[in-house]
Amino acid sequence: MTQQTAGTPSMSTTGAPPHSRSYLRPTRLLSQSERSKLHPSVLAEAERRAASIQLRVADAITAFAGSMNFVYLHILLFAVWMLVFEQSPWPTLTLIVSLEAIFLSTFVMIGQNRQAVFQQVKADHDYNAQEQLLEENTDLTRAIHELTGQIHERILAEVTASVTRDVAAAAKPTQDDPTKP
């Protein structure tokens, strides 16, 4: 992260402002991010979603419907509709808002299902990666244990040989010693 100075928004590591919602649109995510920094599951899902027109449309609608621009647009449209186009009690506006709520709730459920599938794929990937690392760590631990055992045996053999030599040297009478008969 870069330091934020007065009047300048901070930038993320990808160069996009932190309020950017480009991660909601796979085509933008793929074009604005370094692929090597993306989780493999995120990359695969983004590529799959970017390849389908139907999924790109759903992503665009979901990204817009979950933004403050969507709220502001609706406040403006409802105010204009209520003040200019329709008299009380606004039956047409009620019908339009009800239909929009039906479609938006459908898009919310589509988004939740998509997120659940993505989370499962990511969890499966993470589980497999952790299992592989656990297996590698177990193999390394076994190898270290075997090497430690070999080092221990070699040192023990050297110490035993050294002690044996010292005992043999102490037990052997020296021929240069004049005090010994």
Q: Please report which helix (H) or strand (E) contains residue 27, including its range.
A: helix 26-32
Q: What's the CA gap between 80 and 92, in Å, rounded?
A: 13
Instruction: Determine phi and psi for 179, rounding to 5 degrees.
Output: -80, -15
Q: What's the CA gap between 43 and 29, in Å, rounded?
A: 9
Q: What's the CA gap between 150 and 146, in Å, rounded?
A: 6
Of 1-5, 42-46, 108-112, where does mean pLDDT reach its minimum? 1-5
Taking 90 as the threshold, does the pLDDT of residue 142 lie above it? yes
13-37 pLDDT, tens digit each? 444 444 444 455 666 666 666 666 6
Other CB atoms within 10 A of residue 81 CB: 15
Residue 111 and residue 62 in contact, taking contact as beta carbons nearer than 8 Å: yes
pLDDT band at 1 (very low <50, low <70, confident <90, very high): very low
88-125 pLDDT, tens digit each? 767 888 888 899 899 888 888 887 887 887 788 888 88
Which has more pLDDT, 171 or 102? 102
